[in-house]
Structure 1
Amino acid sequence: MTLHEIANKILQMNKIGITFHVSPDGDAAGSVLSLCQALRKIGKEAYMISKDAISYNLSFLPFSNMLNGECVKPKDGTDCVIILDCGNKERISAELDNFKGTVINIDHHMSNDLYGDFNYVDVNAAATAEIIYELINILNAPMDSDIARCLYTSLVTDTGSFRHSNATTTTHIIASELLKFNISHSDIHSNIFDNKPYEKLKLTGYVLSNTELMFDGKLAVMEISKDILNKLNMILDDSSDIISQGLQIRGVEGSVLFREVDGGVKVSLRSKKYLNVNKVASVFGGGGHVRASGITMKDISLEEAKKLVLNQIKEEI
């Protein structure tokens, strides 16, 4: 299905819920916020669904206060739910078991399960926001500074401030078009990256000081236990900035972070040039991108998760 066909399906709907993946990052939040505003501009009764509250460093985004974890399922009379930036049904941040309307799935992850009634997945897009930018134009929804700020934030976060290999000429062209709406890229960067609680910096220091190098120094291995989070009296909503620091070590090709959560372990994987972390993640039911992927491992200890995943990485690295 083409994006124009997706747009035509959306135009046939009136009341539309929009959601994303659990623990939404900048791309998920920015994409949902921008599409919701755009649909309202063309007369749709659009609203956002989320079981998660938005993280503190994204709270500067327009209308982000509406992503507060209170609307967790489609409202009565909803014609359609659009799910953005979510590769599989289990990770949707909404309760959709009893929803009988249309589900539209828009994403850029190669591991997407195509779970929607209608699916559009562009694995060449650096961020789902690239797709949403194009969709907004197809829908003839007027762009403004609020929408531009949300989309630019998505691009910045999913490309690592445009330094990752997924950033293309298209990414930079879209970014330049968004900057025409008088948004401050400096303020956006500051809100995202220079806005950490003191406890987060202490946690980062702890994790880095206990990082191990494996496989001839090619892999940085990090972990965060529930004990250390309790000790620092903090709730960790995003660890992407911590794991990315593992890639800053000279000679390292990949970085893996094991985080103990209620009911299991979350695993984040990143790589530089040749390690396909999506291939590693897919073995355990996870997925994402070639250079950035994640896994949720249920009913398993931290040590057991490390043993399984590290053995798989050893085969790939």
Structure 2
Amino acid sequence: MKELLNKIKAAKQILLSTHRAPDGDGFGAEVALYHALIKLNKKVHLLHVDEPAFKYNFLRKKVRLDVFSNESQPEASETDLILVFDTNDGRMLPGLWNWVTENKIQFAFIDHHPFLEDAPNIGELSFINTDAASTGEIVYSMIKDLEVEMDENIAEALYTSVCFDTQLFRYVKSSAISHAIAAEVIPYIDEPESIHDHLFGNIPIEKFRFLAYCTNKIEFHFNNQFAYLEITDEDLIRFNMSSEDTRDLTDHILGVDSVEISLVVIPAEGGKKLSIRSKKPLRVLELAKLWNGGGHLYASGAYIPADSKSLANLKKDLLSEIKKLL
């Protein structure tokens, strides 16, 4: 961490990014550091491969954020450092990561996910702490080490990160750190409850109907220990939903008392995305790795391209592997 902090202090222009389909942890963490770096008089802005979902607009409107494309790229020669949050896999930043490596821009991943054996090189500056319950927890420590005073913008973003990835403190990795961070930042936030609403509430009636429809599609296997749901493009079109609107389904299904593993198959970029959750002690990270995915021990995922041969027998193969776990 010390070497990374020294690089940050020395850099004049810094880019911040996170994985595609940004979530509350990655986006909250980078927004928190964005505001901290602004206070250190750094030239800094966010560079994503896609826009955050609308529910994060309360953070989005307070930062400079550009979406990377072949037609719209920053000047590589003016970029001293790029920091990537909530992933240690450059493949999660399609297009942008090629630009980083081709222009030999110095980079660092700031993350709490386990390493993937087949992932690209993570470099010498990266800081990965798999004991952290969120990436925001790591960024909180960085801001402290940079000696930046807390303010409302930083506090709001950190609280978003911690609340999102712990699911309102349900998953804190047997540590009090998430609660301690919350206790420190809440006094700086006018309405902490509004952040809960942005992240987990304010469900439009269209999504509520979509959730009811999906509930009826869930399949239960192996004495109701495994719940499987496949969402199609037609389902999303019918209810005017996006893939982002499916993000909380896997966690909701895992709440069923008999279910030990929940898995949702979601359309994504022409292929399929697997969202997998499990209850301790069943670990689904290795299952995700079978489809070149990753994540946490009990919350993992994978992306399967449209041209992958594994799509043909996906459900059959998943059931076979799940049976081994149970």
User: TM-score by structure 1 length?
Assistant: 0.93
Q: Matches of 2:264 and 2:206 in 1, distance apart? A: 18
Amino acid in structure 2 at the alignment position of 1:53: E
Distance 1:67 1:201 in 2: 30
Q: Distance in 2 between matches of 1:62 and 1:53?
A: 9
**Alpha-carbon contact 1:258-1:306 (below 8 Å) kept:** no
**Which residue of 2 is the match for residue 89 of structure 1?**
90
**CA pair 304-68 structure 1, distance change in 2 beyond 3 A:** farther
CA distance in 2, matches of 1:167, 1:152: 18
Q: Cα distance 1:239–1:99, how it changes in 2: closer, same or farther (>3 A)?
A: farther
Q: Number of matched residues?
A: 315
Write the mapping of 1:176-191 to structure 2, written as runs, cut at 5 A: 176-191=183-198
Write the letter of the residue equivalent to 1:84. Answer: F
Give 5+ residue unaligned stretches, structure 2: none
Q: Matches of residues 157-306 of structure 1 in structure 2 within 5 Å?
A: 157-166=164-173, 168-298=175-305, 299-300=307-308, 304-306=313-315
Partner of 1:156: 163
Superposition RMSD in Å:
2.0
Deviation at 1:62, TM superposition (A): 5.6
Runs of 4+ in 1 over 6 A off after TM superposition: none
Q: CA 1:67–1:195 in structure 2 vs 1: closer, same or farther (change >3 Å)?
A: farther
Distance 1:238 1:91, change over 3 A: farther
Q: Where does 1:65-76 land on structure 2 (aligned, <5 Å)?
A: 66-67=64-65, 69=67, 73-76=73-76
Contact in 1 for aligned 2:49/2:95 (Cα 8 Å): yes
Deviation at 1:41, TM superposition (A): 0.7
Distance in 2 separating the partners of 1:276 and 1:173: 28
Note the C-alpha offset of 1:184: 2.2
For 1:250 and 1:182, how far apart are their aligned partners in 2? Answer: 36
SS in 2 for 1:118: coil
Summarize the Cα distance change of 1:159–1:11 in structure 2 as closer, same or farther, 3 Å threshold.
same
Output aligned runs, 1:42-57, within 5 Å.
42-57=40-55
* Stretch moving more, 191-200 or 134-143: 191-200
Residues of 1 paired with 2:174 and 2:132: CA distance? Answer: 8
Q: Distance in 2 between matches of 1:99 and 1:216?
A: 53
- Residue of structure 1 aligned with 2:113, choices 80, 101, 109: 109
Secondary structure of the structure 2 residue equivalent to 1:52: coil
For residues 172-209 of structure 1, the C-alpha deviation after alignment (integer angstroms, 9 at most, x for no partner) is 11111111213422111112111223322222111111
- Shift of the alpha carbon at 1:235? 2.2
Q: For the residues of structure 2 that align with 1:291 and 1:163, how far apart are their CA atoms?
A: 13
| Segment of structure 1 superposing worse, 148-157 or 51-60 | 51-60
1:18-66 Cα distance to aligned partner (Å, 9 max, x none): 0001111100110111111111110111110012111121111264564
Q: Secondary structure at the match of 2:156?
A: helix
Q: Distance in 2 between matches of 1:227 and 1:265?
A: 14
**CA distance, structure 2, for counterparts of residue 123 and residue 183 of structure 1:** 31
Shift of residue 215, structure 1, vs aligned partner: 1.4
Counterpart CA distance in 2 for 1:302 and 1:214 is 20
After the TM superposition, which of the residue ranges 261-270 and 159-168 deviates more from structure 2?
159-168
**One-letter identity of the residue aligned with 1:105:** F
